[in-house]
Amino acid sequence: MPRRRITQADVAAMAGVSQATVSFVLNDSNPSGVRISEETRQRVLDAIRITGYSANPAAQRLAGGLTQILGVFTYEATFPQGGRDFYGPFLVGIEHAAEKLGVDILLFTSARVEDGRRRLTREGWQRLGVADGCLLLGQQEDRGELQHLLDTNYPFVFIGKRGSDGGRLPYVGVDYATATSRQVERLAALGHTRIGYVGPRGTDQPTLDRVEGYRLTMKQRGLTARFVELDDVAAAATEIGDQRFTAIVVAPENSPEELADALEHRGLRVPVDVSVLLLGQPHRPRPGGRRWSGFSIPREEMGARALYLLSRLVTADAGQAGSRAAAQVPDDELRQLLECVDVDGATLAPCPPEPTGSHDRTEPA
């Protein structure tokens, strides 16, 4: 037979006190006019230990207490699939921060992934109430859901830079624009003037920031920005004259190993003939593959910093009503951008000399 759930009434009976006293001890509170002696408090704690009582998290939150549980919700499937482990480093950082804070992490996975995206709607809102606050991450977020969380003053932090009406959305992201700008400068310092951008032109924030960093730096350098599709890179690199690329910056999700293979199939060596810098490290590195130059994204630090920020918002929410909670955290901490770290790698070289004629670039038979 299943064991009956121990209740506060059971703890109160064993300790010889009222249920209200048990609740006050659990929440570590002393309401005005109520005095709980150390002896009584210890009796309650002993009864909790002996009975193995565990408070109902949802009920405890409804009563105004904190569960010491922080949630994690991802808009895409979380665990590695086909060798891809994009979320893994985030979760490692979150776990390390949780250990230091002394809180538990609850991963919300019950919402089904449909068309590559999860939704918080319907039962999702109630499930979030089990946790004191929640971390959100993923590329396929629903802006309406984020606005709902803001409007209801539920503590949350997005991992990754995000915009919102009035700039109220708290996040911990990375400065893709500055990091991308540095890669263009690295190439320009080695004499490259024909630098192409390879990657999607989507509307997600990381893509927008990368494109902005590339476009602005090329303009400041007096160079022409040129965007090229992945399938056209090898052909563009073998053109003659001013149209030929000598370097490209590449969004890492665009299979850089296959791209380099296509270049070498046309007789172009990386980096002797074409330098390649990745705007982030590969999602699926090839075993024994190239050591890519570019920058890396501090995913573990992002996860840890996001959890620390969420903990501060939860603490502020417990002591302040509604929208005043975020006011306890300075603006520069509510919206944090971390620096990416440049990687030397082995795919960056000085600009090659101009070919003397079209015979210098021939495709293999």
Mean pLDDT (whole number) for 319-323: 47
Q: Say what the pTM is.
A: 0.75
Q: Tell me: do 12 and 118 sit in the same domain.
A: no
pLDDT of residue 104: 92
The answer to whether residue 266 sits within a structural domain is yes
Q: Tell me: do 240 and 315 sit in the same domain.
A: no
| One-letter identity of residue 118 | R
Mean pLDDT (whole number) for 97-106: 92
Asked if residue 75 lies in contact with residue 137, where contact means CB atoms within 8 angstroms, the answer is yes
Q: Is 334 helix (H, G, I), strand (E, B) or coil?
A: helix
Q: Contacts by 97-101 with C-beta closer than 8 Å and gap 24+?
A: 97/303, 97/304, 97/305, 97/307, 97/308, 98/70, 98/307, 101/307, 101/308, 101/311
pLDDT digits (tens, 9 = 90+) for 3-27: 455 777 888 888 888 888 888 888 7
The answer to whether residue 289 sits within a structural domain is yes
Q: Tell me: do 254 and 356 sit in the same domain.
A: yes
Q: Tell me: do 323 and 291 sit in the same domain.
A: no
Lookup: tokens for 89: 């480093």
**Rounded Cα–Cα distance for residues 322 and 345 (Å):** 49
If one compares 58 and 361, the residue with the highest pLDDT of the two is 58
Across 65-74, 217-226, 341-350, least confident range: 65-74
pLDDT band at 170 (very low <50, low <70, confident <90, very high): very high
Most confident of 118-132, 235-249, 306-320: 306-320
Mean predicted lDDT score pLDDT of the chain: 81
The answer to whether residue 356 sits within a structural domain is yes
If one compares 202 and 305, the residue with the highest pLDDT of the two is 305
pLDDT of residue 230: 74
pLDDT of residue 223: 96
pLDDT of residue 323: 44
Mean pLDDT (whole number) for 315-321: 63
pLDDT of residue 319: 58
pLDDT band at 272 (very low <50, low <70, confident <90, very high): very high
- How many domains does the structure of the chain reveal? 3
Please state whether the peptide bond connecting residue 271 to the residue before it is cis, i.e. omega within 30 degrees of 0. yes
pLDDT digits (tens, 9 = 90+) for 106-157: 988 776 666 666 777 655 566 777 788 899 988 777 777 777 777 778 889 9
pLDDT of residue 148: 76
Considering just the CA atoms, what is the radius of gyration of the chain in Å? Answer: 27
**Domain harbouring 111, CATH code:** 3.40.50.2300
Across 8-22, 231-245, 335-349, least confident range: 231-245
Q: Tell me: do 242 and 127 sit in the same domain.
A: no
The answer to whether residue 354 sits within a structural domain is yes
pLDDT at 340 over 90: yes
Mean pLDDT (whole number) for 224-247: 79
The answer to whether residue 146 sits within a structural domain is yes
pLDDT of residue 363: 38
pLDDT at 361 over 50: no
DSSP 136-186: EE-SS--HHHHHHHHHTT--EEEES----GGG---EEEE-HHHHHHHHHHH
If one compares 178 and 86, the residue with the highest pLDDT of the two is 178
Q: Tell me: do 73 and 218 sit in the same domain.
A: no
H helices, E strands: number in the chain: 13, 12
Tell me the residue range of the domain where 226 lies: 176-296+343-360
pLDDT band at 358 (very low <50, low <70, confident <90, very high): very low
pLDDT at 80 over 80: no
pLDDT at 321 over 50: no
Q: Tell me: do 105 and 180 sit in the same domain.
A: no
pLDDT at 208 over 80: yes
pLDDT of residue 123: 52
- % residues pLDDT > 90 (the chain): 37
Q: Is 342 helix (H, G, I), strand (E, B) or coil?
A: strand
Q: Tell me: do 126 and 231 sit in the same domain.
A: no
